[in-house]
């Protein structure tokens, strides 16, 4: 079965276009290195929780929105190989300066697909 990397990112609403530009560039880079699909979702109906929520998870500020994203890979090995190449790409060597979000509050992880209906 496929392997999925998932991401939650708090993005200032004023940075939507800058985020979209980088998201499109990253999608092309992921796909160039083996990803099957890249999905970026701009929060539209993300309720605040009392115990936990997407907003609480990323410590969302009032002027931010939560972006929910995932990258689908054919396998964990394909992800490991592809992600290594992505991280070695010159565009990834710039560091966090100029990013349209606070990367310290980004949450990410890799997941084995157990149901694909």
Spell out the domains of the chain, with CATH numbers in brackets: 3-112 (3.30.70.100)
| DSSP tally for the chain: helices H, then strands E | 3, 4
Which residues make Cβ contacts (< 8 Å) with residue 1, sequence separation at least 6? 112, 113, 114, 116
Q: Tens place of pLDDT for every residue, the chain, 117 residues? A: 899 999 999 999 999 999 999 999 999 999 999 999 999 999 999 999 999 999 999 999 999 999 999 999 999 999 999 999 999 988 887 766 778 999 999 999 999 999 999
Task: Note the pTM of the prediction, 2 decimals.
Answer: 0.93
């Amino acid at each position: 079965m496929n392997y999925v990397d998932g991401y939650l990112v708090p993005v200032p609403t004023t940075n939507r276009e800058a985020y979209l530009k980088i998201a499109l560039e990253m999608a092309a880079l992921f796909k160039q290195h083996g990803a099957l699909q890249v999905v970026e979702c701009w929060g539209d109906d993300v309720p605040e929780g009392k115990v936990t929520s997407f907003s609480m998870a990323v410590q969302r500020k009032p002027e931010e929105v939560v972006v929910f994203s995932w990258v689908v890979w054919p396998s964990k090995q394909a992800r490991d190989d592809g992600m290594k190449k992505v991280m070695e790409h010159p565009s990834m060597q710039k560091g966090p300066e100029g990013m349209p979000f606070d990367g310290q509050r980004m949450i990410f992880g890799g997941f084995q697909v157990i149901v694909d209906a």
